[in-house]
Amino acid sequence: MAQINPSILSADFARLAEEAQAVEGADWLHVDVMDNHFVPNLTLGVPVVESLSRATDTPLDCHLMIENPDRWAPQYVEAGAGSVTFHAEAAAAPVRLAREIRAKGARAAMALKPATPIEPYEDLLPELDMLLVMTVEPGFGGQAFLDIMLPKIRRTRELINKHGLELWLQVDGGVSASTIERCAEAGADVFVAGSAVYGAEDPAQAVRTLREQADRTIASAPWACDH
């Protein structure tokens, strides 16, 4: 089953609680944390995540685009995040960090920027609950989907299936009605969508439509039948 995670990066930050409630029915709410160092943009931090976790029943999927996640990621679990994603390029000790996130009670995930290959991380996959393949350069919403990431999604899915892991494979960046099927066909099962959801007239309906598209594709995808 596909999971759709609307990204509040494309929501109205002055009405975050309402915007979160507008997509109830989504699997997770994707929260982009940017520190203006790891990426050239600044969004929100621990206090906002804490408030947001009280404002919605949808679990929070925090995508940390920050330096030194080894220091900060555990605080996002304490703030109420159900899943915390750190970047492979930023973590000093990814295994220790993934174990700490899990020990604190959240799902541990690792993200790869477009130029970061999956292969060096094969042995680390059992330490993770989700792997995020970025399909745009992290930093901004509303960018065009990078088709050249499809082979990496495919290779990552092959590694997950080869090792028989229950790891989720998330894609983030430019995911919309016109790109979600290519991602699902390549092996993704968790889909972040910012502008495609919050730019729609009815965000909750946009979530349902994306989920239907992804579910239909996954149902006939060879990678899902083999699994």
Ligand X SMILES: O=C(CO)[C@H](O)[C@H](O)COP(=O)(O)O
Q: Residue 88's closest CA among 80, 98, 79?
A: 98
Judge whether 7 is annotated as a binding position: yes
174 lines the binding site for ligand X (CB under 6 A): yes
Q: Which of Fe ion, ligand X, none interacts with 151 (beta carbon under 5 to 8 A by kind)?
A: none
Q: Residue 102's closest CA among 86, 118, 122?
A: 86
CB of 5 to Fe ion, least distance (A): 9
Is 38 within 8 Å of 66 (Cβ atoms)?
Answer: yes
CA 62 – CA 83 distance, rounded (Å)? 6
At 111 the three-state DSSP class reads strand
7 lines the binding site for ligand X (CB under 6 A): yes
Binding mask 19-58 for ligand X (x = CB under 6 A): -----------x-x--------------------------
- Rule CB under 6 A: choose which of 3, 58, 63, 110 binds ligand X: 63
Residue 172 a catalytic site member: yes
Instruction: Find the DSSP H helices in the chain.
Output: 16-21, 46-55, 69-78, 94-103, 150-162, 180-186, 195-198, 203-219, 222-226
Chain residues in the site for ligand X (CB under 6 A): 7, 9-10, 30, 32, 63, 65, 136, 138-143, 172-175, 192-196
| Residues of the binding site for a divalent metal cation | 30, 32, 63, 172
